[in-house]
Amino acid sequence: MLNKYKIIILNETKNLFMKNRITYVFVKGRKEKYLSKSYEATDFFYGLTSFDSINNIINIIEFDNETTLFRKLVYYVDRFFNKFISLPFYMHRILSLKNLNTLIKTDNLVLVNESTAFSLLPFLLILKLFFKTNITLFVMGMYSKKIHYPIFYLIHKLLINLVNFCVDNVLFLGKGEFEYAKKSTNKILNFHYFPFAVDTNFWENDDSPKKNQILFIGNDGNKNFELVKQIAQNLQNLSIIIVTNSNIFDDFQERSNVKIFKGEWGSNKITDSQLKQFYSESIVTILPLRNSVQPSGQSVALQSMSIGTPVLISKTEGFWDKDNFIDQEDIFFIDDDDYKSWLKKIYILTSSKPMLEKVSLNSKAKVRDKLNEQVFFTNLLKYIT
């Protein structure tokens, strides 16, 4: 009997010291910030900062610029896949024995976007076939890639299906793309709608007084920069703050009511605190988009709503949740890409204080109740074994 209790105690002690090995794969900008705790908002860490290091062993892999003969050869393979297959392959920036060694020791692998998944695809196949790694992928645009050479469509689709085969949990950040993907493939048991969330503790109004200005923030290819430029060129009686790295504004004719800031997340050009001030001081955040099933503008919109600044956004197929965000209740939609229509809508909204206040309160409450980081992390734990 005594030996029986000794075995039980030893097993319990062993379980106590067994840690869950979690590896996150990012494109750039997270590892150094995470290790040095030099981040402000935690939105783009996809739950990483909520895992404690007492019960988990955390590893982070990022794309790097290491040069080897193998990677030089793989670079040309990547170029072929990017150009002809229309998929984001960057294997030359991540395939290495060091990274493979990290991955085979991992219990839970989290891929934060499809670029990391395609770039690690050879390693994902190894994990799928020879190891018991639980793999989770966040998707935001995998099914919205424009195919430049239709002759390669079947290969394009095959590679997407191969990623889905390797991954245990495919988490779609946008409901529009989620619904589209379910119609495009037969394997949907591992597909889940998983809305993005923001750090509502950080994205809170800093009590800056409102200025007579509107705001645009964005960098991805689905932003309609030409429309933003037209709005800025013709805006009267209002100022506009534009935060982007797009070079389309390099030849912009300077206007006293337009201020352009170069910057994107992860760079040192502009901080989250500066963005928070821009949100707080603006009357409305505008997000002109190109139509796509990708949920473009999601993070900016949710940050703005969390602070209490209403959002005017293009009505696209990829809007992240049309069921829960209702026009003129939580958000303002516009389905026109004519700058005159946008200007008219902007002038109406900025002169309608009761409407703005209603949408501000509704959207802020919805984001803080349902799309905060704690809800995101709690839901993520359902997929982390």
For residue 331, list its beta bridge partners.
327
Is residue 328 situated within a structural domain? yes
| pLDDT on residue 326 | 94
Confidence of residue 11 (pLDDT cuts 50, 70, 90): very low
| Angle, in degrees to the nearest 10, between helices 121-130 and 153-166 | 40
Q: Residue 370: is its pLDDT beyond 70?
A: yes
Is residue 188 situated within a structural domain? yes
Residues 265, 126 share a domain: no
The CATH number of residue 186's host domain is 3.40.50
Picking from 194, 225, 244, the residue at the C-terminal end of a domain is: 194
Question: Which residues fall within 8 angstroms of residue 15, CB to CB, at 6 or more apart?
Answer: none
Q: Residue 299: is its pLDDT beyond 60?
A: yes
Residue 256 and residue 271: Cα distance in Å, rounded? 24
Report the candidate in 33, 66, 4, 9 with the shortest Cα–Cα distance to residue 266: 33
Residues 227, 347 share a domain: yes
Residues 296, 189 share a domain: no
Place of tokens 């982070």: 60
Residues 258, 220 share a domain: yes
Residues 152, 105 share a domain: yes
Is residue 310 situated within a structural domain? yes
The CATH number of residue 242's host domain is 3.40.50.2000
The conformation of residue 43, written as its DSSP 8-state character, comes to: G
Q: Rounded to a whole number, what is the distance in angstroms from the first to the last CA of the chain?
A: 34
**pLDDT tens-place string over residues 326-367:** 999 999 999 999 999 999 999 999 999 999 999 999 999 999
Contact 45, 30 (CB under 8 A): yes
Residues 240, 173 share a domain: no
Residues 248, 177 share a domain: no
Residues 48, 86 share a domain: yes
Contact 110, 62 (CB under 8 A): no
Confidence of residue 13 (pLDDT cuts 50, 70, 90): very low
Burial class (CB in 10 A: 0-12, 13-18, 19+), 242: buried
Report the candidate in 183, 148, 181 with the shortest Cα–Cα distance to residue 163: 181
| pLDDT on residue 29 | 87
Is residue 228 situated within a structural domain? yes
Residue 139 and residue 338: Cα distance in Å, rounded? 30
Residues 219, 306 share a domain: yes
- The domain of 352 spans 213-370
Contact 325, 331 (CB under 8 A): yes
Tell me what the pLDDT averaged over the chain comes to.
90
Is residue 201 situated within a structural domain? no
Residues 171, 34 share a domain: yes
Residue 134 and residue 197: Cα distance in Å, rounded? 23
Is residue 2 situated within a structural domain? no
C-alpha distance from residue 199 to each of 38, 264, 270, 371, 376 (Å): 15, 17, 18, 9, 10
Is residue 8 situated within a structural domain? no
Residues 252, 342 share a domain: yes
Picking from 135, 160, 194, the residue at the C-terminal end of a domain is: 194
**pLDDT tens-place string over residues 222-280:** 899 999 999 999 999 999 999 998 888 888 877 899 999 987 766 667 899 999 999 99
Q: What is the mean pLDDT of residues 80-103?
A: 96
Is residue 161 situated within a structural domain? yes
pTM here is 0.90
Question: Which residues fall within 8 angstroms of residue 70, CB to CB, at 6 or more apart?
Answer: 95
| pLDDT on residue 7 | 40
The three-point CA angle 90-379-171 to 5° equals 35
Residues 41, 98 share a domain: yes
**pLDDT tens-place string over residues 161-194:** 999 999 999 999 999 899 989 887 766 779 999 9
Q: Residue 290: is its pLDDT beyond 50?
A: yes
> What total number of domains does the chain contain?
2
